[in-house]
């Protein structure tokens, strides 16, 4: 987004600040950055995930605006050598409408003065929530507890289109953005949420080494300097960013991200492939979520059928203590309300909570089979059993469930 930058001047710093916030809200900017340079001060807005420079003004005016912001955010104006944060609640007029704005201000000492970053929060969350995404009640409970941790790493895996990012955003939405500094780093940004700081990766001609590329590793290092509470990273693909994420999770941050793997247990092997030491994986990884999108049967024309447990593959049969089960399948004739037997979409999930036993297994470099055996003793529900459960609950076609190669 290219916007003509304007050189400006002001007499009353309060009036200038009000105007700045007004323009930011009008343009739906998520952040205002006021950055002192050697000779002038740059004002940037983050618009739809991208930073644009809007104004510059002479450095002589910087102290005025810095004091104004700090006084209004109830920060200590005499302290200029340490990071500080504060909040401003204010009412502004935007095109004749009164809007309440919640500003979260942070300052960072630099060679030329303090960098001021102001997060602009204008509306309440109307966003995705965990309850409405189609997870089983057990998965909902685990996802909510995974959302509430105050450090460590949560990883979501699954195929393309399995809704991984949607799950992460629903988990982020469990937090009050005025209490937590939430940053996302994605390529591209999937949901634009004005109360998060969203940073979009930019790889020039697909070349991460290009001097103009903005990579995950670079973004992560910058985010860590901005005092985040929660960092959401689009996808961990390389050793560098995965290691940085694990270290951040180990030092008091919540890091959430997606990673490529077809199973929750496979995530551990995937991270090991990056040559990351087991102690770092074990001490940072807290939850692994694997998910798969499936079609839900039409409730009006579903077929009920009885199936002999002996006819089921052994991995299902061994969990069923009966000779027969009642399951559902689709009606080849459909009905008027569905047109193709399917009515909705739902998610299959398998989740691993890294408790003391799993922690030790990761630390000891245990193989996937050993980890799976230990999980199974804990009434763990892998994806294929979640599918069977959904076929028993009519939410899924039994033939589709058995066809899944999970
Ligand atoms: Zn139907």
Same domain? 116 vs 166: no
Residue 370 belongs to some domain of the structure: yes
Same domain? 170 vs 294: yes
Task: Report the separation in Å between the CA atom of 304 and the middle of ligand 1, taken as the mean of its atom positions.
Answer: 13
Q: In the Cβ-directed half-sphere of 151, how many Cα atoms lie within 13 Å? A: 10
DSSP string, 344-358: EEEEEEEEEE--HHH
Task: Report the separation in Å between the CA atom of 132 and the middle of ligand 1, taken as the mean of its atom positions.
Answer: 22
Task: Report the separation in Å between the CA atom of 242 and the middle of ligand 1, taken as the mean of its atom positions.
Answer: 45
Q: Rounded to 5 degrees, what angle do the CA atoms 198, 204, 207 make? A: 110
Q: What is the dihedral of CA 141, 142, 147, 149, to 10 degrees?
A: 120
Three-class SS state of 379: coil
Task: Report the separation in Å between the CA atom of 329 and the middle of ligand 1, taken as the mean of its atom positions.
Answer: 11
Check residue 125 and give its pLDDT.
Answer: 35
Calpha distance 318→20 (Å, rounded): 65
Task: Report the separation in Å between the CA atom of 300 and the middle of ligand 1, taken as the mean of its atom positions.
Answer: 5
Task: Report the separation in Å between the CA atom of 345 and the middle of ligand 1, taken as the mean of its atom positions.
Answer: 14
Task: Report the separation in Å between the CA atom of 29 and the middle of ligand 1, taken as the mean of its atom positions.
Answer: 45
Task: Report the separation in Å between the CA atom of 303 and the middle of ligand 1, taken as the mean of its atom positions.
Answer: 10
Dig out the tokens for 189 from the structure.
Answer: 């940004």
Task: Report the separation in Å between the CA atom of 395 and the middle of ligand 1, taken as the mean of its atom positions.
Answer: 13
Last residue of a domain, one of 103, 121, 139: 121
Task: Report the separation in Å between the CA atom of 396 and the middle of ligand 1, taken as the mean of its atom positions.
Answer: 13
Q: How far is CA 75 from the centre of its chain?
A: 30
Last residue of a domain, one of 121, 155, 182: 121
Task: Report the separation in Å between the CA atom of 341 and the middle of ligand 1, taken as the mean of its atom positions.
Answer: 5
Instruction: Check: CB of residue 54 under 8 Å from CB of residue 45.
Output: yes
H or E segment and range at residue 47 = strand 40-47
Query: Which residues constitute the domain of residue 231?
Result: 130-403
Instruction: Check: CB of residue 89 under 8 Å from CB of residue 102.
Output: yes
Same domain? 77 vs 215: no
Task: Report the separation in Å between the CA atom of 397 and the middle of ligand 1, taken as the mean of its atom positions.
Answer: 13
CATH code where residue 77 lies: 3.30.450.90
Q: In the Cβ-directed half-sphere of 383, how many Cα atoms lie within 13 Å? A: 25
Residue 258 belongs to some domain of the structure: yes
Residue for token pair 């770092």: 280
Backbone angles phi, psi at 169, to 5 degrees: -65, -40
Task: Report the separation in Å between the CA atom of 342 and the middle of ligand 1, taken as the mean of its atom positions.
Answer: 7
Q: Which of 308, 282, 403 has its CA nearest to residue 348?
A: 403
Check residue 1 and give its pLDDT.
Answer: 39
Same domain? 156 vs 38: no
Task: Report the separation in Å between the CA atom of 297 and the middle of ligand 1, taken as the mean of its atom positions.
Answer: 8
Enter the pTM of the model.
0.68
Give pairs for 31-35: CB < 8 Å, separation 24+. 31/117, 31/118, 31/119, 31/120, 31/197, 32/116, 32/117, 32/118, 32/120, 33/115, 33/116, 33/117, 33/118, 34/65, 34/66, 34/69, 34/115, 34/116, 34/117, 34/118, 35/115, 35/116
- Residue 121 neighbours by CB under 8 Å, 6+ apart: 101, 102, 103, 104, 177, 178, 194, 195
Check residue 122 and give its pLDDT.
Answer: 63
Residue 141 belongs to some domain of the structure: yes
Calpha distance 338→321 (Å, rounded): 34
Dig out the tokens for 309 from the structure.
Answer: 């447990």
Task: Report the separation in Å between the CA atom of 88 and the middle of ligand 1, taken as the mean of its atom positions.
Answer: 53
Task: Report the separation in Å between the CA atom of 128 and the middle of ligand 1, taken as the mean of its atom positions.
Answer: 27
Dig out the tokens for 361 from the structure.
Answer: 């297994």
Residue 330 belongs to some domain of the structure: yes
Same domain? 204 vs 87: no
Same domain? 358 vs 340: yes
Check residue 49 and give its pLDDT.
Answer: 60
CATH code where residue 245 lies: 3.40.50.300
Residue 1 belongs to some domain of the structure: no
Instruction: Check: CB of residue 379 under 8 Å from CB of residue 276.
Output: no
Same domain? 346 vs 369: yes
Domain count, the chain: 2
Instruction: Check: CB of residue 328 under 8 Å from CB of residue 391.
Output: yes
Same domain? 198 vs 83: no
Task: Report the separation in Å between the CA atom of 377 and the middle of ligand 1, taken as the mean of its atom positions.
Answer: 39
Task: Report the separation in Å between the CA atom of 298 and the middle of ligand 1, taken as the mean of its atom positions.
Answer: 4
Calpha distance 43→59 (Å, rounded): 12
Task: Report the separation in Å between the CA atom of 381 and the middle of ligand 1, taken as the mean of its atom positions.
Answer: 29
Task: Report the separation in Å between the CA atom of 161 and the middle of ligand 1, taken as the mean of its atom positions.
Answer: 24
Calpha distance 349→140 (Å, rounded): 10
Calpha distance 172→149 (Å, rounded): 11
Residue 52 belongs to some domain of the structure: yes
Task: Report the separation in Å between the CA atom of 331 and the middle of ligand 1, taken as the mean of its atom positions.
Answer: 8
Task: Report the separation in Å between the CA atom of 148 and the middle of ligand 1, taken as the mean of its atom positions.
Answer: 39
Last residue of a domain, one of 89, 121, 153: 121
Task: Report the separation in Å between the CA atom of 138 and the middle of ligand 1, taken as the mean of its atom positions.
Answer: 28
What tens-digit pLDDT sequence spans the chain (406 residues)?
Answer: 344 578 888 889 999 999 999 999 888 787 899 999 999 999 999 876 668 898 999 999 999 999 999 999 999 999 888 888 888 888 888 777 777 787 889 999 888 999 999 988 764 333 467 877 778 888 888 888 888 888 889 999 998 768 788 889 889 988 888 888 999 998 877 777 777 888 988 887 778 888 888 999 899 999 999 989 999 998 898 999 999 999 999 988 999 999 999 999 999 999 999 999 999 999 999 999 999 988 889 999 999 999 999 999 999 999 999 999 999 999 888 888 876 777 777 889 999 999 999 999 999 999 999 999 999 999 899 999 999 999 999 999 999 999 987 7
* Helix and strand numbers, DSSP H then E, in the chain: 13, 16
Check residue 139 and give its pLDDT.
Answer: 87
Same domain? 189 vs 263: yes
Task: Report the separation in Å between the CA atom of 343 and the middle of ligand 1, taken as the mean of its atom positions.
Answer: 7
Same domain? 257 vs 150: yes
Same domain? 114 vs 234: no
Task: Report the separation in Å between the CA atom of 296 and the middle of ligand 1, taken as the mean of its atom positions.
Answer: 11
Calpha distance 384→13 (Å, rounded): 62
Residue 117 belongs to some domain of the structure: yes
Task: Report the separation in Å between the CA atom of 399 and the middle of ligand 1, taken as the mean of its atom positions.
Answer: 17
Same domain? 23 vs 95: yes
Residue 262 belongs to some domain of the structure: yes
């Amino acid at each position: 987004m290219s916007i003509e930058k304007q050189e400006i001047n002001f007499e009353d710093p309060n009036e200038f600040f009000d105007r700045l916030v007004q323009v930011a809200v009008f343009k739906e900017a998520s952040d205002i950055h006021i950055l002192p340079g050697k000779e002038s001060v740059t004002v940037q807005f983050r618009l739809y995930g991208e930073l644009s420079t809007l104004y510059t003004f002479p450095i002589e005016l910087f102290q005025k605006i810095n004091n104004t912001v700090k006084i209004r955010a109830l920060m200590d104006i005499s302290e200029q050598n340490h990071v500080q944060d504060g909040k401003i609640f204010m009412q502004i007029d935007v095109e004749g409408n009164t809007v309440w704005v919640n500003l979260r201000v942070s300052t960072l000492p630099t060679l030329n003065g303090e960098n001021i970053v102001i997060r602009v929060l204008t509306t309440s969350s109307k966003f995705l929530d965990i309850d409405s995404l189609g997870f089983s009640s057990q998965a909902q409970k685990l996802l909510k507890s995974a959302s509430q941790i105050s450090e460590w790493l949560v990883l979501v895996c699954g195929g393309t289109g399995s809704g991984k990012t949607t799950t992460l955003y629903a988990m982020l939405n469990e937090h009050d953005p005025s209490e937590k500094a939430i940053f996302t780093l994605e390529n591209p940004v999937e949901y634009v949420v004005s109360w998060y700081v969203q940073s979009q990766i930019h790889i020039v001609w697909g070349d991460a080494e290009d001097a103009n590329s903005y990579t995950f590793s670079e973004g992560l290092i910058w985010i860590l300097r901005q005092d985040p509470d929660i960092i959401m990273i689009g996808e961990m693909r390389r050793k560098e960013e995965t290691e940085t994420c694990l270290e951040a999770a180990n030092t008091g941050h919540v890091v959430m991200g997606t990673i490529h793997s077809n199973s929750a247990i496979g995530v551990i092997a995937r991270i090991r492939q990056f040559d990351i030491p087991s102690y770092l994986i074990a001490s940072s990884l807290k939850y692994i979520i694997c998910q798969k999108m499936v079609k839900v049967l039409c409730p009006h024309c579903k077929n009920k059928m009885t199936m002999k447990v002996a006819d089921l593959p052994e991995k299902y049969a061994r969990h069923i203590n009966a000779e027969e089960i009642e399951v559902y399948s689709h009606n080849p004739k459909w009905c008027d309300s569905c047109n193709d037997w399917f009515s909705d979409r739902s998610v299959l999930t398998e989740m691993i909570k890294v408790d003391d036993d799993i922690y030790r297994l990761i630390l000891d470099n245990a193989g996937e089979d050993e980890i799976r055996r230990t999980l199974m003793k804990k009434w763990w529900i892998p994806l294929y059993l979640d599918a069977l459960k959904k076929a028993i609950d009519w939410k899924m076609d039994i033939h589709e469930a058995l066809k899944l190669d999970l």
